[in-house]
Amino acid sequence: MTQPTFDPSSIESILHEERHFNPPSDFVDRMGSVYVSSLSDYEKIYNRSISDPQAFWTEIAEQLHWYRPWDRVLEWSPPDAKWFVGGQTNICDNCVDRQVRNGHGDETAIIWEGEPVDNGGPEIRRLTYADLQRETARLGNALKKLGVRKGDVVTIYMGMVPELAIAMLACARIGAAHSVIFGGFSSQAIADRVTDADSRVIITGDGAWRRGKIVPLKDNVDQACETLAAGNRDVDAVVVLKRCENAINWQDGRDHWYHELTAAADEDCPPEAMDSEDVLFLLYTSGSTGKPKGIVHTTGGYMVFTYITARYVFNLHPGRDQVYWCTADCGWVTGHSYIVYGVLPNRVPSLMYEGAPNFPAEDRFWDIVERHRVTQFYTAPTAIRAFMKWGAEHAEKHDLSSLKVLGTVGEPINPEAWMWYHRVIGGERCPIVDTWWQTETGGHMITPLPGATPTTPGSCTLPFFGIDAAVVNEKGEEQPANTGGLLVIRKPWPGMLRGIHGDRERFLETYWRRVENMYCAGDGAKRDEHGYFWIMGRIDDVINVSGHRLGTMEVESALVSHPAVVEAAVVGVPHEIKGTGIAAFVTLESHAEPSADLREQLRDHVAREIGAIAKPDQIRLTDALPKTRSGKIMRRLLRDVAAGTDTEQDVTTLEDLTVLAKLRESEEE
């Protein structure tokens, strides 16, 4: 595996942003209480967290419940970190049972709103910590009855319903690792992940509501099971939540109704005492090469890190009528860390919404904010760009005065979108926390603290406590201000990934070989003269579509698996809403006739292989791909071609490409 060579000086500082925003002067008043309320406080705490991490993390970890205290805070033998070594805890206990023990059993833990709306309005459910305790215990016992043991991997493929959070917590409760697969992924994606994780139990639903339509979850699982059976892999049990009441097929012996299993299960299921370094979950994410990688997170460090980042970054305060809403899906890491695991231990209600932002109309999110009096709101730049396009009037119809902190995550936010968010949604009253992090980091790494950090549109500002982030060249030397380089983390942190499931070599190669003993995030970045970080995008063949990573090679493999395709090259192309769209250059078998119909077929084929998120925005059928003399596809050229012509009708011909290729050949080699 070779890494593309990267020339840090090739990243130029692209933005010259002059706008700065201090935390609003009435922020402390509006919030009632703020954990970190000045930049100098931030600096004091940050400096201590770096000079004495053991003391810093000890104080945080002690705020949570452990069955057995740890012997050592950290064992670091690069690139392997163990946190809270020897300690035993359970994250479900800390999210749920601990709140009940402390007398908060009847407080709301999850507010859920369904997508369908009838005359009585949408369906709303409020689950207390006591409800979660009972439901996670029942499902935990039901899973045990199906043969799930400590250390097994349970696959979860569901819509955004409370039972999804319950399923995650139930696994954690009994010490099983979960692997949540985003409900928008295809049956092939399920089969791949189930195989890689060697998972034998799947929790799903009959269907999921999305923009008024039913996503056929169970059909997809059935198909995945067929694929798995063809490869001689068995799924022992499929647990099915009834949600949409759509017709489904049923396989006796394998399939079980969620409601029947849990109704029959005992309510007593004490959380398992887990070693701090026991696996909590796998979460698959795309890389530049090959199949998706199962990122491994363990129990103690992840728990402490998500708890404290959620607390400080969103200023979560229990008992102050806060309602926190993150619009992500639990199928992504954002949902893991900032809908479930980081939020529940802070005893602030976490709002979950089932459906689309434009159902039944484009004001749905603002309607939800108004009705539930949402105080902290966390979403993605791609969503903000869609809101901008739909128009400010949808937000202006609603009373958004409850909002106090706004957050973004997933990709660099363009300054226009930042300003729109600040003005139209935040009413110029709300700090914006632009949080840089990754599936691999577990939680927020570089982010403003809302009461402390002055913000500037497009910068994720300063590192969180304990995070030693830097921009370096390939030798690991720090770059001067305003010079591009590699974003690295130089010291271990509690939420860091512990590996890629089953692939040690890929773990070393992807994150640790580029710069010695530093975690290399795969992002290019610069720091400005104030030390603020600016993320400039991926340095590998990964494209960030709507805030989610896709490997170009994954999409290429999907295309090439179609019988009409000989070869494919996929590149990112600027896209108004998604940030980056997907352009595919495809050469066909000689018998295949290029046509609009075939392009549509190829698009659908990719959706079937990976999921709708990977559907190319442009497909260009060509007779050949431009290559260097050594046979490397000239991606830079393809990127230019894709970005330069905006109509997908346009079929770039062999002649054009060879001419262009010849022109660029010398440069590329």
**Distance in Å, CB of 438 to ligand WT7, minimum:** 4
Name residues contacting ligand WT7, limited to 442-461 (CB under 6 A). Answer: 460
For residue 297, the minimal CB distance to ligand WT7 (Å) is: 12
Residues listed for the chain: 669
Q: What region, left, alpha or beta, does residue 563 occupy, with left being phi > 0 and alpha being psi -120 to 50 degrees?
A: alpha
What CA–CA distance (Å, rounded) separates 397 from 395? Answer: 5
Dist. CA 315–CA 650, nearest whole Å: 50
The rounded distance, in Å, linking the Cα atoms of 189 and 609 is 7
| Minimum separation from the CB atom of position 27 to ligand WT7 (A) | 21
Q: Which residues contact 62 (CB under 8 A, 6 or more apart)?
A: none
Residue (of 439, 501, 497) closest to 196 by Cα position = 501
- We find the least distance from the C-beta atom of residue 329 to ligand WT7, in angstroms, to be 11
* Binding of residue 297 to ligand WT7 (CB under 6 A): no
Cβ proximity to ligand WT7, 265 vs 472, nearer residue: 472
Provide, rounded to whole angstroms, the least separation between the CB of residue 575 and ligand WT7: 15
Determine which residue in the list 549, 603, 608, 635 makes contact with ligand WT7, applying CB under 6 A: 549
* 535 contributes a contact to ligand WT7 by CB under 6 A: yes
Burial group, residue 619, by CB count within 10 angstroms (0-12, 13-18, 19+): buried
Name which of 309, 306, 290 is nearest 298 in CA terms: 306
In the list 274, 308, 340, 521, the residue contacting ligand WT7 (rule: CB under 6 A) is 521
439 binds ligand WT7 (CB under 6 A): yes
Q: Which of 114, 450, 547, 626 binds ligand WT7 (CB under 6 A)?
A: 547
- Where does this chain touch ligand WT7 (CB under 6 A) — which range of 81-89, 129-137, 340-348, 410-418? 410-418
* 412 touches ligand WT7 (CB under 6 A): yes
Q: Which of 195, 223, 438, 473 binds ligand WT7 (CB under 6 A)?
A: 438
Instruction: Specify the stretch interacting with ligand WT7 by CB under 6 A; choose among 173-181, 428-436, 557-565, 585-593.
Output: 428-436
The binder of ligand WT7 chosen from 131, 523, 540, 556 (CB under 6 A): 523
Q: What angle do CA 291, 507, 326 make, to 5 degrees?
A: 75
Q: How far is the CB of 446 from ligand WT7 (least distance, A)?
A: 8
- The residue (of 368 and 460) whose beta carbon lies closer to ligand WT7 is 460
Candidates 618, 616, 606, 619; CA nearest to 185 is: 606
Nearest approach in angstroms of CB 295 to ligand WT7 is 8
The answer to whether the beta carbons of residues 326 and 334 sit under 8 Å apart is: yes
Tell me the β-bridge partners of 152.
none
Looking at beta carbons only, is 544 or 652 nearer to ligand WT7? 544
Answer yes or no whether residue 431 interacts with ligand WT7 by CB under 6 A.
no
Helices in 37-128 by DSSP H: which ranges? 39-51, 53-61, 91-92, 98-99
Q: What share of the chain is helix, strand, coil (3-state, %, to 5)?
A: 35, 25, 40
Upper half-sphere CA count for residue 446 (Cβ side, 13 Å): 28
Under the binding rule (CB under 6 A), the answer on residue 411 touching ligand WT7 is yes
> What does the alpha-carbon distance between residue 453 and residue 462 come to, in Å, rounded to a whole number?
8
Piece in contact with ligand WT7 (CB under 6 A), picked from 101-109, 437-445, 607-615, 619-627: 437-445
H or E element at residue 596: helix 596-609
Burial of 297 (0-12, 13-18, 19+ CB in 10 A): buried
Choice between 357 and 547, CB closer to ligand WT7: 547
User: Rule CB under 6 A: is residue 541 a binding residue for ligand WT7?
Assistant: no
Amino acid at 122: P
- CB-nearer residue toward ligand WT7: 410 or 431: 410
Position 134 contacts ligand WT7 (CB under 6 A): no
Q: Does residue 544 bind ligand WT7 (CB under 6 A)?
A: yes
In angstroms, rounded to a whole number, what is the distance separating the alpha carbons of residues 240 and 613? 24
Q: Please, which residue, 501 or 549, has the CB nearer to ligand WT7?
A: 549
Site membership for ligand WT7, residue 540 (CB under 6 A): no
Closest to ligand WT7 by CB, 460 vs 583, is 460
Contacts with ligand WT7 by CB under 6 A: the residue count is 23
Q: Is the Cβ–Cβ distance between 316 and 378 less than 8 Å?
A: no
The CB-of-172 to ligand WT7 minimum distance in angstroms stands at 20
Residue with tokens 């590149």: 571
Nearer to ligand WT7, 528 or 648 (CB): 528
Structure token pair of residue 342? 């980081």
Supply the minimum distance, in Å, between the C-beta of residue 381 and ligand WT7: 8
Q: Nearest Cα to 83, choosing from 593, 457, 492, 627? A: 492
Minimum CB distance to ligand WT7, residue 439 (Å): 3
Q: Does 27 bind ligand WT7 (CB under 6 A)?
A: no
Question: Under the criterion CB under 6 A, does residue 127 sit at the interface with ligand WT7?
Answer: no
Strand 201-205 versus strand 121-128 pairing type: unpaired
- Contact present, 125 and 218 (Cβ < 8 Å): no
Q: Contact between 543 and ligand WT7 (CB under 6 A)?
A: no
Tell me the two tokens of residue 535.
Answer: 């993320």
Rg (C-alpha) for the chain, rounded Å, is 24
Q: Least CB distance from residue 544 to ligand WT7, whole Å?
A: 5
State how far the Cα of 328 lies from the Cα of 322, in Å rounded to an integer.
19
In the bound state with ligand WT7, the residue whose beta carbon lies nearer, of 207 and 463, is 463
Assess 548 for contact with ligand WT7 (CB under 6 A). yes
300: helix, strand or coil? helix
Binding of ligand WT7 by 330 (CB under 6 A): no
* By the rule CB under 6 A, 333 interacts with ligand WT7: yes
**Whose Cβ is closer to ligand WT7: residue 199's or residue 439's?**
439
Told to check if 434 binds ligand WT7 by CB under 6 A, we report yes
Asked if residue 484 binds ligand WT7 (CB under 6 A), the reply is no
Q: Which stretch binds ligand WT7 (CB under 6 A): 308-316, 423-431, 434-442, 567-575?
A: 434-442
172 lines the binding site for ligand WT7 (CB under 6 A): no
Toward ligand WT7, which CB reaches closer, 374 or 521?
521
Residues facing residue 76 across a β-bridge = 81
The verdict on 519 binding ligand WT7 (CB under 6 A) reads: no
d(CA 275, CA 551): 34
Query: What secondary structure does DSSP assign to 384-398, as a single string?
Result: HHHHHHH-THHHHTS
Cα–Cα distances in angstroms (integers) from residue 246 to residues 116, 158, 243, 250, 315, in the given order: 15, 14, 8, 12, 41
Residues of the shown chain interacting with ligand WT7 in the complex, contacts defined by CB under 6 A: 285, 333-334, 409-412, 434-439, 460, 521-523, 535, 538, 544, 547-549
